[in-house]
Structures are given as C-alpha cells and as structure tokens.
Structure 1
Amino acid sequence: MTIRKKTLGVIFSLFLFMGLVVYIIIRFVLINGYIELETEDMIKTTDQVSNQMKDDLLKLKTTVGDWAPWNDTYQFIQELNESYIQNNLMYTTIANLNINFMLFIGNDGRLKYVRGIDTENETAIQEKNDAYLPLLEENPVLQRSETQNEIVAGYARFNDKIVRLSSAPIMTSQFQGPVMGTLVIGNYINSREIDHIEEKLKLPLEIKKIDPGKPVEDFSINKILPQGHRFLIKRTDSLAITSSVLFESLSGKPLFIVEMKKRRDVYIQGVHTLNYLLLALGIVSLFFMAIMLIYLEKNVLYRLLRLSMDVKKITLSGHGNNRIMVSGRDEISSLSLDINQMLEKLWENEKRYQILFESASDAILLLKGDKIVDCNLKTLELFGCEKNQAIGKSPCFFSPEMQPDGRLSDRKFRDIIETSFSKDSLLFEWLYLNKDKTVFETEMNLTCISLPSGDHIQAIIRDITERKQSQRIIMQTEKMLSLGGLAAGMAHEINNPLSGMMQNAQLIENRLSRNLPVNVKAAEEAGTTLSSINAYMENRNILKLLRSINNSGIQAAKIVANMLRFARKDNSEKLSDNIVALLDNTIELSQSDYSLKSNYDFKKIKITREYESDLLFISCHSSSLQQVFFNIIKNAAEAIFNSPGKDKAPELIFRIMKNDAMARVEIEDNGPGIEEKVQKSIFEPFFTTKGPKEGTGLGLSVSYFIIVTDHGGKITVESAMGKGTKFIIELPLMTS
C-alpha cells in the first residue's frame, strides 16, 4: 500500500473517529440530558399517582377514625340495635363515603355484623359473616385487642379483587374504653376508582394484580418514593415510557402494580436535535478533509514518493558513493540530509564491523537453519579449511560422529538449533575435529538474530581445551590432597598391622584346632589332650572369635580397595553406578581416613542414613562423586569439632531420595552453621575460611564443577547460624 493510500486512509479514519467521538460525547451529554429530564418528569407523574392513592387511603382512615370512636357505634357493637342500622348504615350514607363494606368485630375476634352495598340495586344489605372470614384470617393485623388503639390502613386481596382497608378500635366518643371490638371498612379499587384518578391526573392508568407465588420484577434499582412505595421506570421503545408503582399488602407482600404510560416527547425532540447537529458537522468535516488532502499531496506526498524512488536506486546499486538529491529547506529536505549522513555512517560501520568480525579471537559463524552462511578467519583457522569449504555446511561436518553423552552429533545439533529459536541465548559445550581429526573441546554460544533475509543464528565458538585440562589438573590436585590423609591412614592403620593380624589369627586357629602331631604332643606335655582343647575352644567361642579377626582383616582389605579406586583417575566415559553404594563407600572411606580419625575422632560422630531407596542409578564418574561427598563430609567434621560451646552430640545425616527425574542427596550436620555472606562465595575457587596451612579453597569449587558442569546436576547449600548446614546435590537419573 502506497503512502498516498495510507494517508487517505488515516485522514478518513481520523475524521471518522473524531465524528464518532463527537457523536458519543453529544449523545452522552445531550441525549442523556433529555433522558434525565424525561425521567424527572416521569418521577413527578409517578409521585402524583402515589399521592392520589395515599390521599384515598387517608380518607378511608379518616372515615374509620370518625366511626369507630363514637358512642352510637360503641353501643351498637354491644347490643346490635336496629336503630343504628336504620339511621347510619343506609345505602346513601355508605355510598357517599365511598365504602363497599363495613365489618363489626367483637373482642372475641368474631364478626358480629357485616354491612355492604348492592351497587346494582343501590341498596345497603347485611351480608353473611362467613364471607369475610378469609379476609380477616389473611390479615390478622385488622383485629384489635384492648392494647391496640392505633388506626391501621392498607391494601389486601379479597374475592380476587384489590381492596383498600382501614380498621380502628371501637371506643366511646371521648376515646375511652374498654375497647369493645374493631371496625373495619373497605372499598374496592376497581375501574371506577381508576377512572376517577385518570380524570383527576389526565393520565391513563392500569392496575395489574400480582399473582401469589410468582416472581416480581426488581423494583430496588430506583429510589423509594416519599410515600414509601417502590417504583420502576421502563422505556419499552423509542416512543413510549412507562412507570410502575408497587403496592404491598398489609402483610408486606407485593399485591398490585399501578402502571402509567406516556409518550416520549422530550426524548424524540433530543434525537432530532442530535441528527441535525451531526449532519452539519459531517458537511464541515468533508470540506476540511478535502482541503487537507490537496495540501498534503502537493507539499508532502509527491516529495516523499520521489525520495522513496531515490532510496530504492541507491539500495539496488549499493550505497558506496551514491547520495540523495536535496532541495528545499523543510523537514523533507532535512530528512534527505539525514539519510545521506546515515549512508556515510553505515559505510564506516560496515567496514568497522568487517574488521572486528575478521579479527575476533573467537570463531564466529552465521547460520541459516543448521547451515553456515558466513564465518570469520578464526573459524577457518579452528577447522583448518578454506571459506568455500565451510559455507553451506553444517557445523556437524567438522564434529565427531558422537558427542560425550552418546548422542549423534547431527541429531543433537538440530535439537539445539530448534531450542535456540525459543531462547535469547544458549550456551553449551561441543566437540569438534581439527584438520588432523584430533578432537578438541569448545564452548558454543548461540544467539537468535533477525535480519532482512530472515531469522539467523549467530554462533560464537571458543576453544576450551586448555581450560578443561586446567580443571582436570585442579581436580586431580585436590584429589591428591585428600589422598594424603588416606595414604597416612593406610600406613598407620591398615598396612602395618593388617598382614600380622591375619597371619597370627590363622596361626592361632591352626595350632588350636588342627590335628597335627606337633599340636598333639604339646597338649600331652601340658597334661591335656587336643580334643579337650578343641572342646574348650568351641564352648568358649574362641574359634569363632578367631574367625572374626579374619573377617576384620577382610574388611580392612576392602577399605584399601575403596581408597585405591578413589585415587584412580577417571576415564572420559561415564558409567552407570548406584549413588547409594557410592555414598556408603565414601562414608566407609571417611571412617578410615587418618586425618579425620586423628584430628576429629570421626568415629564419635553419629551417622544417620535416611534412604528412600537402595537402588538409584546414575551415569557418572564414580570417583569424582566420591571426591565431592568426601570433601563435604570432611568439612562437616571440621565444623562440628571446631565449633566452640558444643553442647550436643555430633551427628551427620545422609538422605537419598528421588525428586522427579533427579536423584537428591542431602548431607546435613548439626555444626555451628555458615554465615550468609560466606554462603555467597562458598563455591568460588580459592575461597576459604581456614588458615593458610589448612586448606587451598579448591575443594568446594572443584565439587561444584564436578556436579554442575561434568554431571549436569545442581549443588546448593542451606545453613543458619547455630542450626547446622545442609548440602543438597541433585543428579540426573538414568532413563533406562
């Protein structure tokens, strides 16, 4: 898409967006204002209807308040005299009061007399008491006791009609008692009542009864009217608005709704005003948009198109000496100058980069997939080839068939390439071949980079053969330091007494148990027989003790074998071994180490083993791992016995467990602990807290290298002052 089309699209979208924003703002401000006015008008109308209903209820309360505290009514409830009925309960009297029935209830709660009106015959009649019993049972608040003197008024359902009720205690005209009963009067809210309200308010109304048990709309979203009624305003469409007032029964349950409906004249006027305003804004916007496009085309778009064509020409022909023509003194002219300056700097940077690339001390390759697309001189020197021999080939071409972990080089490298695209940087070790097919070790750093031609990988290769050799020397040196103590142990504890112990034990057993003439003669000269000596030996388990001495010699020989295996240099190939047996062998070696026995009395340390399994196989250099375990055990023993104020028995806890695909080894002591600042440097080479003649500071750094680099595991330390130290080692389990 050209910049001209983009500009047209942006301007059109901008004006459309601005029009939409203006429309939303105007609609929000103007239309919402009209809606608020419409709502306020509807609330006023609703309030008028509610006030009218309240006035009618107050009239009923006034009527019952006049009739109940009256001497004639007081006498009638006691005597039911006919004169009261003839004089007061006539049709015209009741009809003028807008009453449909009157109930006279005694103190015992029973209806004594019921007076209603027949609207068809225009006569007052005495109705059956039983007909009004359901009304009283559903609204017990109407019935009075001697202590209930207030007037009650409200609404109820009776004979599937809505009735307005009011009740008051029957007393004397002086409001004196005792209360002789209750007077209840009521009138039906029917079409005549609604017509009366409509005529008064000039507004159509509708009464909607609420069926018991059916859900009622939520009337709580609006405020409550001053009369205490809840109301709900609805806009059914764009032409009409309705308001509903909820009226509850005497028992507080929803009973009926009075609904009023009006035309939305205010809202319709607001919509027309909005449409006229938007039409005017649209015409003005189109006019300004046309002027803006003509100006941009003449002063910006055409000149940018010419600048773009010049840049394309330079790109196709190379940016050596080609530059853009500059005309004018505006921003586009300034941009042209900036592009020319950028071309100069690009040319300089390209030459500088080429010099750095070719003179780098590390081999640098640019890979597309797993193929080499460019490389520097150090790469050619490292692989011993020409550049045309390297371009287009995979680095695996210069690698041995298999890597140290047993995987094929080409398959492993493809997996690494796929992984590098999902990571910022990937560092790993790799074997390559010299020109004479000699294997050398390297460290590769892969970084994914994006170029105009697509995603590439920058590979930096560093020969680490000498560094690896130095690490092996350090490991062997540390191992030899450890073997110094072991050798002394062998000299003092095993080698000297071992042969004599086993020979003498065998000689004693032969002289006391074998039936040789010399033995028989010596027994007779001592005044006994060889068989008696044999019986004594068996009874006293002396021969068994002699065999135990031989077993001890065998155990000592095993210790010598373990120490010799520990001192032997690792082969380059890792072998499968049981980490449980490795740890147990190292503990056994530690118990016989001369320096540990002489300096710290290692046998006084309580050894606790907590092994989850007796068989956890890993691929490892066994002697290297034994060196790690021995270094940690030795450090723990030194910490335990050199801690001041030791008030608990020394203990070492060894734990082995399976943690997902890793074997987890924990070596915990109850020594004084390690300070936090020391923990941060504990695995650094030549870092030590011991004196100059007590340690080299290489033990734990070599251990870290063995676990992390050589075996792909983890080693961490957890410690707190006064709470001991725990070293945690995790090594990958064998998958099969």
Structure 2
Amino acid sequence: MGIRRKTTIIYIILILSFLTSFLSYSNSIYLSGINQIEVNYAIDNLMRAENVLENQITNLDKTCKDWAYWDDTYNFIQNRNRDYISSNLIPDTMKNLNLNFMILIDSRGNIVHKMAFDSQNNIEMDIPFEFNDYLSKNVNDLISLVNEKEVRGLLFLDDKPMIISVNPILKSTSEGPSRGILIMGRYLSESEISKISDTLQIPIYINGIGEESEEKISFESENYILAQKVLNDINGKPAVIINVKTPRDIFRAGKKQIYFSQLSIILIGVFFILASLFLMDKLVLSRITKMRKEVTQLTTNESSNRRIELSGSDEISNLANDINDMLQKIEDSEKELEKRERTLQGILSAAPVGINLLQNRIWVWSNKGMEEITGYKIEELLGKSPRFLYESDEEYERVGQILYKRQRDNDIVEVETKFLTKNGTTKDVYIRNSPLDPNDYSKGYITVVLDITLRKKTQKQLDENLAYFAHLVDHIRNPLAIISGFAQVEIEDNALKERIMRQIERIEDTIKQLDKGWIDTEDTKKFLKKYSR
C-alpha cells in the first residue's frame, strides 16, 4: 500500500472519529442545556398561573371584607332588616361582584341569609348540596377560625374547584364584637380557567386530587412540557392540582439550530478532508514521489556525490518542516480571516435594524434588516436614491438637511421620519447617520434605520389612557363635593350626617390613592419617554 493511500485512509479515519465524537457529545450537551432552560421556563409559567389564582383569591377576600366590615351588615345580623336584603342581596349584586354564592351566618352558627347565583345563565339558584353539607359540618370551626387568622383559598366540592373567603362581621371601623361570619365564593368554571389561560397565553387546567396526582414536570411530547403542582384548600389539605402546559418553542428552535450547526461542521469537516488531502498530495506527497524518483535515478547512476540521506536532518526533512511551517501559518491566517468575515457577516445579517452605506444619498450596500423594514429586496435598493421611501419631497429634503448638512458639527446625527413600504403602509423610523471617514465625506455614510412604529403607537395609547384617567378622577371628585355640601347643610339627623360624611371620607381617601397612582404613572411615562430609544 502506497503512502498516498495510507495518508488518505488515516485522515478519513481521524476526521470521521472526531466528527462522530464531537457531534454525539455536542448534541447531548446542547439538548441537556435546552431541556434545563425549558424546565425553568415551565416552572416560571406555573408560578405565574399560581400568582393569577392567588390574585383572584385576594380580590375576592377584599370584596368579602368590604361587606363584612360594614355597619349595615353588622346591624342586619341583629335586626334582620328586610331593606338590607332588598337593597343589597339581589342578583345584580352577585353579577357585579362576580359571585356564585353569599352566606351570612350569626355567631351561633345559624344561617341568617344565603344566596346563590348562576353567573352563566344570570339566574338565582339553590346553594349546592355539597356546600351545604360542608357548611353544616364546619360552620363552628369557621366561626372560631376567622378570629385567629384569615380564611381564604380553595375548595373542591362536587368535582368543581372554587375560591372562597370567610370574614367576621364587624363594624365599619373593623371593631367588634363579631356578630357572625360572611362567606363569599366563586366557582372556577371552565370559562374562568380559560380566561386565566388567555391572560397568560398558555394552556391551564385545574383538576381534583386523584390517586396518581403528584407534583412533577414532565416532557409529554415534542410540543409541550407539563408542570403540575398540588394546591391546598382553606383547611391546609390537598384540594386541587394545577396543570400548566408550556409549548416547547425553545426546544424546536434549539433542535433546528443544532441541526444546522452540525450540518455546517460536517461540511467543514468534509471540506477539511478534501483540502488536507489535496494539499498533502500537492505539497508533500508529490514532492516525495518526485524526490524518490531522483533517489532512484541517483542509485541507478551510481553517483558518488549523493546528497540525500535516509535518516537524520537531511534536505527532505528540512524541506518538509519548512513546508509544514509555511502551510500552518497560511492556514492560521485564513482561518482567522474567515472567522472575522463570518462574524461581521453574521452581525450585519442578524441585526434587527437596517444598516446601509450611501454615497451622495445613493445606496451602495444594505443588509437584510432593511428588507424587513421597507419590504424591498436589497437588489431593488442598490444604486437608487431613498427618495421613494419618503411621503413628500419636503420630508426628503428635511431629513437630508439634518443628516448631511449638520454633519460638520457632529460626527453622529439622528432624526425621526416616516417610510413608505413596498406594500403601501407607513412606518415610523429612527435614522442615525455617521460618516464612513470623518475626514472625507465623499466616501459615504453609514446609515442605521430602526423601526419605531410600535413604540409610537404605544406612546400614543399611554397618553390617551393618562388623559382619560385624570378626567375620570375629576368627574368622581366634583359630584362628591356636592354630596358633601348637601349632607352638611340639608341633613339634620347628626347620626345619619356623620355616617354619610364617613363614607365620603373613605371615597376621598380612595381618590387620593388614585391620584397618587396617576402621579406614579406620569413618572413612569416620563421615564419611558426618556429611555425608549
């Protein structure tokens, strides 16, 4: 077997072994890293779902406290005033508060009034048997428990999850003694859970505890990761299990990227084999063959002046070393150059902005980002003036004045304008301009274009929301001042007057909190305006 064939086989075996080992190892490492990222993402989604559910429980508890800590409710438990029922315990109240049931119980455990409401059909209904049964068994414990801690959370009755809040009935000043408890609850129906799913943009399911229910995170398929967690009820016992399905977008994107990366490595490996074999044959093997022939000729001629030695530091060894050194330097330089070119090309292609080189406002070069902003192919832009992207000659000239006439004062200038895209739509853009050579403007300018359409729309919506918010607060405060003046002048009953004024003060405190929130929003708005670029 000749040296050329031996060299070829050795190179192929070494490169294939390297590629096989590298691809196997890198695939395992990459997928492991991607899976860990997916698990963390699934855990985050599960926590987000828990937080939304906890917020619903908190809001229900706030509503329950508002009704439980109210003089009207406090008096009703004692005097059974029918006006309280006709004015407050009506279907519209249940609908507005998004409740399915409300139960008032006195301190001895007797039900004073109860009401259930079917929110899907907007009709009253009977308290479900399962809840009545639960209440009859636990009412005394609930009365005792609310005086020790907050009672709110989940229940799972009749294969239906619900959220519930229990609060002691006290005066409006939150003082006692307690005259009983107020219970409010709402079923977590499929529509309610669907709303949570729509809010978080991920599928969510809430089921009862089964024999195989356990907390886990599992890769159900290449499409979803399932995250499960057991949630306790108001008694601290396992009640429901929340399931969150997280789409495996990261896995699919990562797998695709791994495939293209490995394919690139294989192609590079094949190229390296062919290039190495070619160079070895061209620069080394063919020379050795040629020198062997010369040696043969020298032997045949029986010359006494032999200048080739078979061992040691001979001319062949020195030449081979020189060639190897030269090839190594060339190869290192080529790899470094290719690396720099790939890095620069990758940065320019992946940049989410338009990057252009213009000379005398004529396109010389552009990247893919400009295609995405304007809709025009790079070939349609090169060699042309950007005039057709502007709405008018005046706007084109205005932008030119800013970008090019002011250039002598600042190396970098910027301006906002609008571009007409290929499909006829208009986009808001931010342009940043810098000369390629500050000492010679004739060499052209590097122009960076950023699409700011979404930021503009967001800013406009924020302005409108703030204006409406301030207008709404004023409309609440003006009628409230009139009511306050009327109560002080026209109402002679001091107890009633004091009660009305106390409620007015509570509303005014709420308005002050709204004002504070509005001011905070204004500060946020200023911050966004300052740092939105």
TM-score bin (small chain): 0.3 to 0.5
TM-score with structure 2 setting the length: 0.47
Larger RCO (CA under 8 A, 6+ residues apart): 2
The structure with the larger Rg is 1
TM-score with structure 1 setting the length: 0.35
Name whichever structure is richer in helix by fraction.
Answer: 2
